[in-house]
């Protein structure tokens, strides 16, 4: 077999055979297929797609390129959540301990932010002492003792995806549903979870801008999970406005702790409880009510133990940015629009995110929203507070927010429902 045969098959709109898929993924991982050949194949897939059997085989080949974790020795069922990424999406932070408090084991391998979307590991790293890197043995031990663990994926997990994702990032080949779905699912299946709930975000702040595209991605991922024996469910959820009030690493940790303490913004609480119920049902544990575990403090207990188990101090003060700037409402009326993408870009420019993988993030940087779409505001009241360590960053953040806020004398905003659909 050779790479040109495989590229030409897909370029001409034909199905890749199982042998072609197995060979090309293995040869690419070993360095036998060159980056430029894999980039050409990825572009042919972007243009001509893959059917369900091809995507399932492609995912399987990426899983087989590395190690697979095994949690079968645990005495609790495993269940995990994956979000396709958004602005202010800190849900993993309260969700993992909450679901563990209800009797499941949550092995959550998470990522870092890139561009305008935040990453769970960057958020948790704003807690003094907390570390993201654990060996598989340490991960298993935290899972056994605490019930929930959030850490970075080791380099041995789906190495074919690691290499291919980096290549897609620089060759304009990220935006392909079969490639995105197989990339996400290869890591989640290799992670060894028994059940998986996918939170597929829709709207300006998400990867998928329309409900139709999000539905197609969700259906593809659910089919891959099901084909691999993982009980998989997807929710399509709103990302046309930021989730909650805080956007930025330490700011979002503080908001997640508020939720665990029984408070927090209503949308964050509602989505956390909805996803918790789905994760528990997928794991066969639907008798437990996660609202009770929030109310009685048991989710907070698991959070504190989870942070300590990874070297963090749950009582340490969180970092605060040195400078802040508040934007006020220019008129009285109803806040009918607060664009998620613009707020995400502003937080990124303030230092909460990174432009290149190797850049550091500023833990205290970000945006706090003082009003949510649908709320009445008065002229002069604070709308957004921008936080940064470097005041020179305010100007570009303010440019990003130009046109992002809409206030109308009356009326209600045209927003997506928080939970749009379940697949
Ligand atoms: N996240 C991933 O892990 N892979 C993709 O292809 C896109 C988003």
Express each pLDDT in 25-56 by its tens digit: 999 999 999 999 999 999 999 999 999 999 99
Catalytic residue, candidates 110, 182, 183, 186:
183
Question: For 3-49, which CATH class?
Answer: mainly alpha
* CATH number at 323-408: 3.90.1170.30
Per-residue pLDDT at 96 exceeds 90: yes
Q: Is the CB of 173 under 6 A from ligand 1?
A: no
Mean pLDDT of 250-267: 98
Tokens of 109: 């391998």
Per-residue pLDDT of 326-353, as tens digits, reads 999 999 999 999 999 999 999 999 999 9
Architecture of domain 79-153+190-309: 3-Layer(aba) Sandwich (3.40)
The pLDDT of residue 231 is 97
Tokens of 168: 């897609």
Per-residue pLDDT at 294 exceeds 80: yes
What confidence category does residue 164 fall into, taking pLDDT thresholds of 50, 70 and 90? very high
Q: Is the CB of 114 under 6 A from ligand 1?
A: no
Q: Is 183 a catalytic residue?
A: yes
Distance CA 219, CA 206 (A): 17
Helix (H, G, I), strand (E, B) or coil at 422: strand
The answer to whether 121 and 110 have CB atoms below 8 angstroms apart is yes
Q: Is the CB of 220 under 6 A from ligand 1?
A: no
Residue with tokens 């369900």: 52
What confidence category does residue 411 fall into, taking pLDDT thresholds of 50, 70 and 90? confident
What are the boundaries of each domain within the chain?
A: 3-49, 79-153+190-309, 323-408
Ligand 1 atom nearest to 180, measured from its CA: 6
The pLDDT of residue 40 is 98
Per-residue pLDDT at 356 exceeds 80: no
Q: How many Å lie between the centroid of ligand 1 and the Cα of residue 55?
A: 14
Per-residue pLDDT at 355 exceeds 90: no
Return all residues near 326 (Cβ < 8 A) that are at least 6 apart.
Answer: 382, 383, 384, 385, 386
**DSSP assignment letter at 374:** T
Mean pLDDT of 189-214: 96
What confidence category does residue 295 fall into, taking pLDDT thresholds of 50, 70 and 90? very high
Per-residue pLDDT at 155 exceeds 90: no
Distance CA 154, CA 133 (A): 8
Ligand 1 atom nearest to 168, measured from its CA: 6
Q: Is the CB of 184 under 6 A from ligand 1?
A: yes
Distance CA 199, CA 290 (A): 18
pLDDT, the chain, mean: 95
Per-residue pLDDT at 175 exceeds 90: no
Per-residue pLDDT at 127 exceeds 90: yes
Angle between helices 52-64 and 159-169 (to 10 degrees): 120
Q: Is 116 a catalytic residue?
A: no
Per-residue pLDDT at 237 exceeds 80: yes
What confidence category does residue 396 fall into, taking pLDDT thresholds of 50, 70 and 90? very high
CA dihedral sign of residues 357, 359, 360, 366: negative
Ligand 1 atom nearest to 111, measured from its CA: 3
Of all protein residues, whose CA lies closest to atom 7 belonging to ligand 1? 180
Max distance between CA atoms of the chain, in angstroms, equals: 69
Ligand 1 atom nearest to 165, measured from its CA: 6
- Give the N- to C-terminal CA distance of the chain in Å, as an integer: 38
Mean pLDDT of 129-142: 94
Question: CATH topology of 3-49 equal to that of 323-408?
Answer: no
């Amino acid at each position: 077999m050779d790479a040109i045969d495989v590229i030409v098959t897909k370029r001409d709109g034909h199905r890749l055979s199982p042998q072609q898929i197995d060979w090309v993924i293995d040869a690419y991982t070993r360095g036998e297929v060159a980056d430029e050949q894999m980039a050409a194949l990825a572009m042919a897939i972007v243009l001509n797609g893959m059917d369900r059997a091809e995507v399932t085989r492609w995912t399987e080949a990426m899983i087989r390129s590395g190690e697979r974790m095994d949690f079968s020795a645990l005495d609790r069922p495993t269940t995990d959540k994956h979000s396709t990424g958004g602005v202010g999406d800190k849900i993993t932070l309260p969700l993992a301990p909450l679901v563990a408090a209800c009797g499941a084991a949550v092995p959550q391998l998470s990522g870092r932010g890139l561009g305008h979307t935040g990453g769970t590991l960057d958020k948790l790293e704003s807690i003094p002492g907390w570390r993201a890197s654990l060996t598989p043995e340490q991960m298993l031990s935290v899972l056994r003792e605490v019930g929930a663990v959030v850490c970075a994926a080791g380099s041995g997990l789906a190495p074919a995806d690691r290499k291919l994702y980096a290549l897609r990032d620089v060759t304009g080949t990220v935006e392909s549903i079969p490639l995105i779905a197989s990339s996400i699912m290869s890591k989640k299946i290799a992670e060894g979870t028994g059940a998986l709930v996918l939170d597929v975000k829709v709207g300006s702040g998400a990867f998928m801008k329309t409900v139709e595209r999000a539905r197609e991605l969700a259906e593809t991922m659910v089919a891959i999970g099901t084909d691999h024996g993982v009980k998989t469910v997807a929710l399509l959820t709103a990302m046309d406005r930021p989730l909650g009030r805080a956007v930025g690493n330490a700011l979002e940790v503080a908001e997640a702790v508020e939720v665990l303490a029984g408070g927090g913004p209503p949308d964050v609480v509602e989505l956390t409880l909805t996803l918790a119920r789905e994760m528990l049902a997928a794991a066969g544990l639907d008798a437990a009510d996660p609202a009770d575990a929030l109310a009685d403090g048991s989710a907070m207990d698991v959070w504190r133990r989870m942070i300590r188990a990874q070297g963090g101090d749950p009582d340490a003060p969180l970092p605060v940015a040195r400078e802040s700037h508040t934007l006020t409402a220019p008129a009285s009326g109803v806040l009918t629009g607060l664009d998620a993408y613009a707020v995400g870009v502003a937080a990124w420019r303030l230092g909460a995110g990174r432009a290149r993988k190797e850049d550091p993030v500023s833990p205290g940087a970000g945006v706090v929203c003082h009003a949510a779409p649908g709320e009445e505001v008065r002229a002069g009241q604070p709308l957004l507070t921008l936080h940064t360590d470097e005041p020179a960053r305010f100007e570009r953040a303010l440019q990003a927010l130009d046109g992002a806020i809409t206030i109308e004398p009356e009326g209600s905003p045209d927003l997506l429902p928080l939970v749009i659909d379940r697949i």
